[in-house]
Each structure stands twice: as structure tokens, then as C-alpha cells.
Amino acid sequence: MIPESIVIEKERKLRDWFTEDCDPTPKIIDGLDIGWGGTQRWATANMPVSPAGPHLDFCCGYGTFLAQLGWRFPDKELFGLNIDYTGPHRMIRSLLAEAGVKASLVQADARNMPFAGGVFSSVSCFLGLQDIRIGFGDSGICEALREASRVLREEGVLVLLDEIPFEEFDAFLQGMSLRVMKRCERALDVRWDRVAAEKAITLYARGYVKQKRTIDEEERVRIYDEVYTRMKSEMERQLRDSGYYVPFNSVRMVTCKKTVRA
């Protein structure tokens, strides 16, 4: 595994590239995607990924976590799966090229992965479960996790990272052939002022609405207002109590092993 200092420097260079056309405040906000406040670096340093067999990162989005995986495990064969590579996600190939990381990209719904069973020695998902929940509900999360378990080899490792509370992770995993090995969490190393915070909650509320599917314009407006109001209330609370704003909760990591069939 490469030294932490090298990963930090790779993050910095990729962040500079990712935000090179941004004005100062958007540069701060967009820059969070690279490293996610130190949590991606922390996660890959604590993932028990073996050198043998391919690795799948599903709901890979921009590919920023794939980049981290490629830096940490340069000899690992990587696959990324996402429901689309349009809009913001269209830049994933450019981002991975800039990061110097190779990965095979597959466009598919995580609830119906186009892979045979037992293909991957390890599988991960960084902040993708919350997107599935927004678009497809809790049942969608369960479907995606069943698929992740299906494509994972026996004794393979599944690493899930999200803001979801541990008890909710346990509920989603119940009844699956997955044994939880470790739970841990880490707060984001982020402190934003009011200017960045106010800009961020507008962008994040819009992003939340975009994750919703099959809703009309009136419903989109209603949901945006609800999410923005909730985020603004939390922003004001943090600015009042601490003088700065942390845009998201701690990232919680659950590491599971696929159990051997009897």
C-alpha cells in the first residue's frame, strides 16, 4: 500500500484539475468530491482488499472513489458500475485518466448487475446507497445489496460507506449471506463559512431532487423546498453553535464477508 503522503498529493493534483474552471466559492464546494473531506483516504487505508481477483465499485458516480482505490491498490483490476454516464458523470473517463487509474466501466442499474455470480473478490459502494434510497426507496437498497452479495465470491469482502446509521445497515443486511466484520466511522475534515454554506445547500437541494425519478414538476418544487428548508435549518444551527458548517454527517463504514455455503 502506498504512503499516505503520496495519496494526499495525488488528491491535491486531481482536485486542482477538477476545479480549475471554478470561481473561488464553487471551487471549495466542488473540491469536496475529491477525497470527500479525507474520508475516502481513510476508507481505502482501512479496507481489507486482497490483491487477488477483481474489485467492483458500484454507484461509482464521478469515479472519485475508483481513483482512490486505484492509488491504494495499483495492481487491482477495477470495475465501476453506474446507472448512467451522462450529465456530471460523463467526465468519469477524463477524471480516471487524469488520476492515472484504469477501470472497466459498466452502465447498469445496481439492482440488476450484469455480472455472473461470484465474479468479484471484493465490492464497494461509497455514498451510493443514499442515492438509491432517494430514487428507489429502501427496497432499492435491499435489491442492490442482494446483487452485490450475488456477484461477490465466497469469503469475498463487501465494504459499504454512507451516512446511514449502523442499525439501518444491519436491517438492510439481515437475511443475506454476509457477516459483518467491522464497523467504524469518520467525520469530514471540512469547515465552511456562511458564503460557501449558503451556496452549497442550494446545490445539494437541487442534486437531491435530480435523484428523484418519475415525479412531475410540481412535486420537484415541493421536494426542493422541503430539502432546502431542512438543510438551511441545520446550516444555521451549525454556524450558530460552532461558527462553521460541515456539509454532511460522518461517513460510516461497514465491512462484511460473504459466508461460505453449508
The predicted-structure confidence for 121-171, as pLDDT tens digits, reads as follows 999 999 999 999 998 999 999 999 999 999 999 999 999 999 999 999 999
**4-189+248-258: CATH topology:** Rossmann fold (3.40.50)
Alpha carbons 199 and 26: distance in angstroms, whole number:
8
The bridge status of strand 178-186 relative to strand 251-258 is antiparallel
Alpha carbons 79 and 74: distance in angstroms, whole number:
13
Residues 197-217: what's their mean pLDDT? Answer: 87
Residues 6+ apart with CB under 8 A from 198: 235
Domains of the chain, by residue range, sit at 4-189+248-258, 194-242
Select the more confidently predicted residue: 240 or 2. Answer: 240
Q: At 218, is the pLDDT very low, low, confident or very high (cuts 50, 70, 90)?
A: confident
Residues 6+ apart with CB under 8 A from 260: 154, 155
User: Given this model, what pLDDT does residue 105 score?
Assistant: 98
Residues 236-245: what's their mean pLDDT? Answer: 98
Residues 60-67: what's their mean pLDDT? Answer: 97
Q: At 262, is the pLDDT very low, low, confident or very high (cuts 50, 70, 90)?
A: very low
Q: What are phi and psi of 5, to 5 degrees?
A: -60, -35
pTM over 0.75: yes
Whether 214 shows a pLDDT value over 80: the answer reads no
% of the chain beyond a pLDDT of 90: 87
Residues 88-112: what's their mean pLDDT? Answer: 96
Alpha carbons 181 and 169: distance in angstroms, whole number:
13
